[in-house]
Structure 1
Amino acid sequence: MTTSAQADPAQGAPGSGPGPLRGIRVIDASTILAGPLCAQLLGDFGADVIKIEHPVAGDGMRGHGESKNGIPLWWKEISRNKRTIGLSLSDPDGAALFRRLVEDADVVVENFRPGTLERWGLGPDVLHGINPGLVLVRITGFGQTGPYASRAGFGTLAEAMSGFAHLTGEPDGPPTLPAFGLADTICGIAASSATTMALYHRERDPEHRGQVIDMNLIEPIMAAVGPSPTVYDQLGVIGHRHGNRSTNNSPRNTYRTCDGHWVAVSTSAQRIAERVLELVGHPEVVEEDWFATGGGRAAHADLLDGLVGGWIGERTREKVIAEFTAAGAAVAPVYDARDLVEDPHIRETGMLTTVEDEDFGPLLMHNVMWRMSRTPGAIRFTGRARGADTEHVLTEELGVSPGELAALRERKAVS
């Protein structure tokens, strides 16, 4: 599946994007990573997204991840479908231009520390005074209120405080953090969902009022970790690390094949567990009373891992997957990036897609995240150079004169 992306600077103007959010304007004033992902998802499904970045320093996302020829690769994806302008919100003239942008906006996404927008004269009361229908998405580490609200907040801290790190890793090893932005990513997806709910409510509200969404990094990943607070509340039980094993079922682990690869096996369903043990030549184990429940099997994980791991260790990855698939058992290879790119199912279903980029030509990236039969999203263009759309947005859409723009650039209020 290939999506063509053009370099036309006017592309992405209001109403130009296909998808259910066509005609919605989003101002992305956020950085690293949850806010930009939220805005990217909205843009993928048709919203006109205007990306605000500092006119001198640029956006911090440009410095994250690998680069090619000095051009950041992650930026190409996280800022796709976004027109970018350099605008200093801490500068009075920059803040004034921002307020003018808000007049016609539907959504603002920001992730400054609580009180920062208010200090610049851009707090919710001001923005809703300009545009009562605005949905203001405020993403912070700890939320807008509470004893930790003023602390610096990053995804790593959320991964630690949510219980994720405590439950991740080997039993005798340290708490383990992910090697990627897990908390930010989950939060960004959650924020896009909250935004569309707020837009839906606005359409049903007789006064067409927007609202403030107070989104923190901790709660979405807490939901992913599971009901451990409830378990503690009712049973006084605190979970601990199990490596790749599960407390709910077994066999569930990663196993090494004889050709040096790894596969993952899951047996969440009872019949799947039975098929796995029958496949590896131990149907007698299925007859054990303890095998009838996931908890019973989890209590015998050493035995089951030995039986399954021994069988897998004598076969190649290709053979293991073929035999598991034929038996109707659940298995998947443990992939690196090259495996993912080369997998026929990933490519043929369009989970990855190639778009045309003005710097690199054909560029492979994640496709829009879900498929919608009537209002599909699209990648209209990839992330652009800093300030690529400043002149077009400010002069054509806000009516700033060339002389005014030159003066603002001289003062570094815009770029």
Structure 2
Amino acid sequence: MSKNTSGPLKGIKVLELGTLIAGPFCARMLAEFGAEVIKIESPDGGDPIRKWRVLKDGTSLWWSVQSRNKKSLTLNMKHAQGREIARKLALEADIIIENYRPGVLEKWDLGYQQLKAVDPSTIMVRLSGFGQTGPMKDLPGFGAIGESMGGLRYVSGHADRPPVRVGVSIGDSVAALHGVIGAMMALRHRDATGGKLKGEGQMVDVALYESVFNLMESLVPEFDHAGVVRERTGGSLPGIVPSNTYTTKDGENIVIAGNGDAIFKRLVLAMGRIDLAGNPELERNDGRVKHTQMIDDAIQAWCDTQTIASALEVLKAADVPAGKIYSVRDMMSDPQFLAREMFEQHQFADGTPVKLPAISPKLSATPGHTKWLGPTLGQHNDEVLLSLGYSPDAIAAMKQDGVL
């Protein structure tokens, strides 16, 4: 099958009105699969993520990934003409993505209802801390707050210590993925009801805390029906035994998931623990749960005799799911990552090489494609404005007047 690298979203226009993580990550995925994404940035420095974490020549390395394939248009949204241009782009777009506090777009005449009144096919993805309704809708809500309120932080870490965070902005990223899913479903519905000209658009209301809450498995029915509050349990998976993190004699961390009944038997036999393999109380998960500590201690005692390499070799031969906990250094040289082409080689404008993470998921016929790295601030001003019908003289005047 031949591959079409223009992407499955070729012809879809997206307007990104947002900064930092959730909204831009949502738009990034659409851009990676062929959508034309125009990102509006403030002329005064642009998206703050341009200055986050590790910088190269004053610009974040994160920016090269988060804004790849996007077009940067600077607009002063305090200026009437800036808001007018944004409105034109919004009414042209198939999808609008925004992550301002509720009410901000309405002040700019860019709210969902305001646009829908002109174009009923408008699709707007709105990402915010607490959603567009409810008593907390006007409060600031970053991913860390969403992770806390949505339940993730409460169950993360060890029981005798305060909750910990995941080492990345998982709340924002999970919300972004919900935004992508919602956008695709809304686009499908619009196309099924008449397309861009006649179809029915809708608002996709994504709250960060609800996106995290959506991941929390059986949390609610366990509490409602059985009064169980899931607590922090370190590296283990409560109620599913054994599934934990152990340490080998060379100081490496290994995750061993021997929680399937047949898998557990293969695991303990590979460890030389025939006594555990023959114990009828341990044949099923509900029986093993009662002996969690004993089983974990036995696995750790075995790991104390193994290097990471020997442990993985034994467990692989026994068909037991296990894996080393990888750092990025491990990933960059790992045969699986390399075989799956999970790194892309690019270069900055000055010719300096840089690797980026490859695009996921992998589509067999219309895979994602990196066309360019994150743009310089306002790099596409002229291109976008000329496409809207503004003349070079008008664009020059807007630059003079502080619109761009």
Q: Smaller-chain TM-score range?
A: over 0.9
Question: Over the residues paired in the alignment, what is the CA RMSD in angstroms?
Answer: 1.7
What whole-Å deviation, never above 9, does each CA across 1:272-306 have from its counterpart, x for those lacking one? 11111111111211222331222332332221111
Which residue of structure 1 aligns with residue 277 of structure 2? 286
Alpha carbons 2:5, 2:367 under 8 Å: kept: no
Once the 2 structures are TM-superposed, how far is the Cα of residue 258 of structure 1 from its aligned partner? 1.6
Which residue of structure 2 aligns with residue 72 of structure 1? 60
Alpha carbons 1:21, 1:46 under 8 Å: kept: yes
Q: 1: CA distance between counterparts of 2:39 and 2:383?
A: 13
Alpha carbons 2:125, 2:204 under 8 Å: kept: yes
SS at match of 1:103: helix
Matched, 1:332 2:331: no
SS at match of 2:259: coil
Alpha carbons 1:77, 1:383 under 8 Å: kept: yes
Which residue of structure 2 aligns with residue 171 of structure 1? 159
Q: Which runs of 5+ in 2 are unaligned?
A: none
Once the 2 structures are TM-superposed, how far is the Cα of residue 135 of structure 1 from its aligned partner? 0.9
Once the 2 structures are TM-superposed, how far is the Cα of residue 360 of structure 1 from its aligned partner? 5.1
Alpha carbons 2:14, 2:97 under 8 Å: kept: yes
Alpha carbons 1:17, 1:47 under 8 Å: kept: no
Which residue of structure 1 aligns with residue 76 of structure 2? 88
Once the 2 structures are TM-superposed, how far is the Cα of residue 231 of structure 1 from its aligned partner? 1.4
Q: 2: CA distance between counterparts of 1:111 and 1:129?
A: 21
TM-score between both structures, scaled by the size of structure 2: 0.95
Distance 1:178 1:359, change over 3 A: farther
Counterpart amino acid of residue 258 in structure 1 = K
Q: 2: CA distance between counterparts of 1:130 and 1:362?
A: 46
Once the 2 structures are TM-superposed, how far is the Cα of residue 412 of structure 1 from its aligned partner? 2.5
Q: Which runs of 5+ in 1 are unaligned?
A: 1-15
Which residue of structure 2 aligns with residue 404 of structure 1? 394
What whole-Å deviation, never above 9, does each CA across 1:3-38 have from its counterpart, x for those lacking one? xxxxxxxxxxxxx97111110000111112111111
Which residue of structure 1 aligns with residue 362 of structure 2? 371
Q: 1: CA distance between counterparts of 2:162 and 2:370?
A: 41
Distance 1:216 1:277, change over 3 A: same
Distance 1:194 1:119, change over 3 A: same
Q: 1:302 aligns with which of 276, 293, 300?
A: 293
Which residue of structure 2 aligns with residue 270 of structure 1? 261
Which residue of structure 1 aligns with residue 371 of structure 2? 380
Matched, 1:350 2:341: yes
Query: In the comparison of the two structures, how many residue pairs are matched?
Result: 399
Q: 2: CA distance between counterparts of 1:290 and 1:184?
A: 43
Counterpart amino acid of residue 294 in structure 1 = N
Q: 2: CA distance between counterparts of 1:17 and 1:345?
A: 23
Q: 1: CA distance between counterparts of 2:28 and 2:350?
A: 20
Alpha carbons 2:51, 2:58 under 8 Å: kept: no
Which residue of structure 2 aligns with residue 225 of structure 1? 216
Q: 1: CA distance between counterparts of 2:215 and 2:183?
A: 20
Matched, 1:56 2:30: no
Q: 2: CA distance between counterparts of 1:268 and 1:162?
A: 27
Alpha carbons 2:5, 2:366 under 8 Å: kept: no
Q: 2: CA distance between counterparts of 1:248 and 1:286?
A: 19
Once the 2 structures are TM-superposed, how far is the Cα of residue 155 of structure 1 from its aligned partner? 0.5
Matched, 1:132 2:123: no
Q: 1: CA distance between counterparts of 2:296 and 2:351?
A: 46
Which residue of structure 1 aligns with residue 184 of structure 2? 196
Q: 2: CA distance between counterparts of 1:64 and 1:230?
A: 40
Alpha carbons 1:247, 1:295 under 8 Å: kept: no
Distance 1:371 1:202, change over 3 A: same
Greater shift, 386-395 or 400-409, is seen at 400-409
Higher relative contact order (CA 8 A, sep 6+): 1
SS at match of 1:38: helix
SS at match of 2:38: strand
Once the 2 structures are TM-superposed, how far is the Cα of residue 163 of structure 1 from its aligned partner? 1.2
Q: 1: CA distance between counterparts of 2:370 and 2:28?
A: 10
Matched, 1:147 2:135: yes
